Amino acid sequence: MKKIGSRLLMLSCSVNLDNSEQVRDYIVEHKRWKNTFKEAVCDAYQHYLDISGLSWNHPIFQRRRRLPNILSREQIALVKGEANPRDALVFSLLEEWGCRPVELYETRVRDVDLERGINSIQTAKWGLLRLTERMNPSTLAMLKTYLAIHKRGLNERLFSSMNPKRMGEQWIRAKKRAAQKLQDPTILKFRLYDLRHYFATMLYHKTKDILYVKEKLAHRNLINTLVYTYLIDFKDDEFTVRVAKTVDEACQLIEAGVEYVTEMDFAKLFRKRK
């Protein structure tokens, strides 16, 4: 609601809000606004019209879809290496949970299952509740250490002083240090939100289940999820192959995180990335 109010206030400084044609022309002809922001301003103005009992000819803007930037595992590690322990933990959770920064900020201590290493997240856009993927043991250990040092009540936020803006600022500082240290300016183009894109791409590569990825990202439109099916070329991946001839052997391989491939000569073939 704050954003709606601020956008309406911005409009009211330039046009008469009760003159819908004037408002429409102002939004459409504004040269410095991108179409995505124009849509947001239109949505805010629609709230005003609904309350005022007015109507208008809602403009339609064509969105320009851009492929998200995907960091490599090494680049993420380099940026985290230039951050303090708290910020490195924040970056790790965003990477492994695939949540938006605002969703991590709203996460309470009671939402985290430290035994199983998973978290219940309420999505920012639709208010849906979803379970995260299991944390890496190292990240779980970092989180336990953080909570042991920073005493938090069950209803308190995990990172009360790290709102989304602050998270973004700390990411920018860390990536600048990493880029300068390695003399690699390409690191500077990656945003904090790109950790979510990394999560989605890796999850699809691991599961090959686009509907599962859609569920984990809490997308409503499958089109938004399909982009993650071709962002990275994994043709050069190398695998270790395992063979299971009994049910027990197959169960052991699955529990070890080995992926089933096919069956041949009465034996089941599994593979795991090196």
Residues 41 and 158 reside in one and the same domain: no
Task: Quick: pLDDT tens for 65-78.
Answer: 667 888 888 999 99
Query: Domain range holding 151?
Result: 73-229
Q: Are strands 129-131 and 259-264 parallel, antiparallel or unpaired?
A: unpaired
Edge-to-edge strands of the sheet including 118-122?
112-113, 118-122, 129-131
Lowest-confidence range among 62-66, 68-72, 168-172, 244-248?
62-66
- pLDDT tens digit string along 17-61? 999 999 999 999 999 998 889 999 999 999 999 999 999 999 988
In this predicted model, what pLDDT tens digit does every residue of 172-209 receive, in sequence order? Answer: 999 999 999 989 999 999 999 999 999 999 888 888 88
Q: How many domains in the chain?
A: 3
d(CA 3, CA 90): 25
Whether residue 195 sits in one domain with residue 149 = yes
157 touches 108 (CB < 8 A): yes
CA angle 217, 221, 227 (to 5 degrees): 70
Is there a domain that residue 62 lies in? no
Do 77 and 173 reside in the same domain of the chain?
Answer: yes
Which residues are CB-neighbours of 192 under 8 A, at least 6 positions away?
91, 94, 101, 167, 168, 171
Do 91 and 196 lie in one domain? The reply is: yes
Q: What integer pLDDT is reported at residue 21 of this predicted model?
A: 94
Residues 124 and 29 in one domain: no
Residues 91 and 211 in one domain: yes
| 0.75 exceeded by pTM | no
- With 0-12 / 13-18 / 19 or more C-beta atoms within 10 angstroms meaning exposed / middle / buried, residue 50 is exposed
pLDDT-wise least confident of 110-124, 179-193, 195-209, 254-268 = 254-268
